[in-house]
Every structure is written in structure tokens, then in C-alpha cells.
Amino acid sequence: MAFAPECVSFDRGDGSVMGQFQEKDYGHWFEFSRNDVLVISPPAHGGKNVEFPHKVWVGNDYKNPQYRYAKVGKTVAHVIVDETADGWVVEKWDIKNKRDYPAYVEKGL
């Protein structure tokens, strides 16, 4: 499981951690938090820009936390995995067992 760092936790951080989910293909667990920076990208097939309002935490190195910008839904997450000269590379992850943390839900955010 990739845990979010303490800087986004409820008790020691800014409280922006929102929940967790399990990636369907490999069974890996990830935590996600609110993204404080507006990141938008057009989809590869064209159309309107898509906003990525979440950070998916992908590393367990607490000295150097790593995240990817994402848009996490109920059954799918769109994750920016790379940046090329042509723009963002976005992967679609099928997810299951998404859980919103109660403390985040109680705040009404």
C-alpha cells in the first residue's frame, strides 16, 4: 500500500487526505488527497480539458513522498503518469474498494 505522507494527514497535517482505493489489475492499494494546484489536460482523443483534483500517493519513501495528479471516480481513476513534448500521458486505472475517510466526509469537502 502506498500511504499518504503525514503532511496531508488529519492529526499532523493539513487534513487533505480523502481516502483510499485498490487498483483492480494488480491489487495495489493507494491513498489519495485533495490537489491544491489546478491541473488541467485535454484528453488524448480530443475534447474539453479535464481537471485533475486529486493526488494519488504512489511511493512509501517518507523523506521524498511521490504522487501523481489524478481524477478519482467510483470505479476508475485517470492518472497522469508522464509528461512528454506533446503533453500529459494519462492512464485509466480500473479501481475497486474505494473508501472515503469519514473525517473528510464529515468536513463536507
Q: Using one digit for the tens of pLDDT, what is the confidence trace for 74-97? A: 999 999 999 887 778 889 999 999
Is residue 71 one of the residues assigned to a domain? yes
For residue 20, pLDDT over 80 is answered with yes
The whole-number pLDDT of residue 6 equals 85
Q: Which amino acid is at 41?
A: S
Give me the domain span that covers residue 54: 6-104
The whole-number pLDDT of residue 57 equals 95
Confidence label for 26 from pLDDT (cuts 50, 70 and 90): very high
Is residue 109 one of the residues assigned to a domain? no
Is residue 75 one of the residues assigned to a domain? yes
Confidence label for 107 from pLDDT (cuts 50, 70 and 90): low
Give 83: exposed, middle or buried? Use CB within 10 Å, 0-12, 13-18, 19+: exposed
Is residue 37 one of the residues assigned to a domain? yes
Is residue 1 one of the residues assigned to a domain? no
pLDDT digits (tens, 9 = 90+) for 31-67: 999 998 888 877 666 667 889 999 999 987 777 889 9
Stated pTM of the model: 0.85
Number of domains in the chain: 1
Is residue 79 one of the residues assigned to a domain? yes
